Homo-oligomer: A and B are copies of this chain.
Amino acid sequence: MTLTLYSDQGSGNCYKVRLLMHQLGYDLDIIEVDVAGDGCRTPEFRAINPLGKVPTMILDEGMVLSESNAILLHFADETQYMPMDHFDKSLMFQWLFWEQYSHEPAIAVARYAMHYLGKTEKEDPRLPQLWEKGYGALDMMENHLKDKTFFVAERYSIADIALFAYTHVAYQGGFDLNNYPHVRAWIERVKSQPRWKSMDEI
């Protein structure tokens, strides 16, 4: 089975998919798309994925799938990376949606401004607001993890992969995790998972 992934090397959303696929043992044909260079907005790319986003996975029969967490769900189904219990699965969905609505739009966007575009607070006036929102999300993660090893059902799942992607590089968006000991311990637990690879390695 040949799978093609349109991916941006530095994107946490793309890294999520590369990490799960590596942990599951899939070979991927990766096509690099430069998000900062508007590679998602070209007519050629829009012809492949009208939603104009990476990651975009081309499945075996020419089927196209977009949205990082939807791709995670597609491949994690019935593997060890997805909880089996119905309510645990629902909690995993909850964290996946929370990540895309309440975490990524703050932490990833601040990181994009600072790390990709090299903007300072003066050059991007949204940054203080993104930091406030992002620290609010980190507070919720810290609170949740104070008596848990992983986000759902005490085992590593795609909820952890999704939340790890931008949390472990949050410093690149100006976030200091010093006051988040449970988040930092969880980051180390994720890194110690079998077949875990860093963003640069895969």
Taking Cβ atoms with an 8 Å cutoff, the residues of A that contact B are 50-51, 59, 63, 65-71, 73-74, 77, 86-87, 90-91, 93-94, 96-98, 100-102, 104-105, 140, 143-144
Contacts and interface: CB of A to CB of B under 8 A. Distances in A.
Nearest to A105: B105
A46 to B, nearest CB: 10
Contact of A143 (B50, B66, B67, B96): B50
B90 A73 contact: yes
A86 B94 contact: no
Most chain B CB within 10 A, of A71, A93, A105, A144, is at A93
Total copies of the chain:
2
Contacts of A77: 86
A91 B56 CA distance: 12
Most chain B CB within 10 A, of A50, A98, A101, is at A101
B100 A144 contact: no
B91 A51 contact: no
A90 B68 CA distance: 11
A26 to B, nearest CB: 15
Contact of A140 (B51, B100, B144): B51
Contact of A50 (B65, B67, B71, B144): B144
Contacts of A65: 87, 90-91, 94
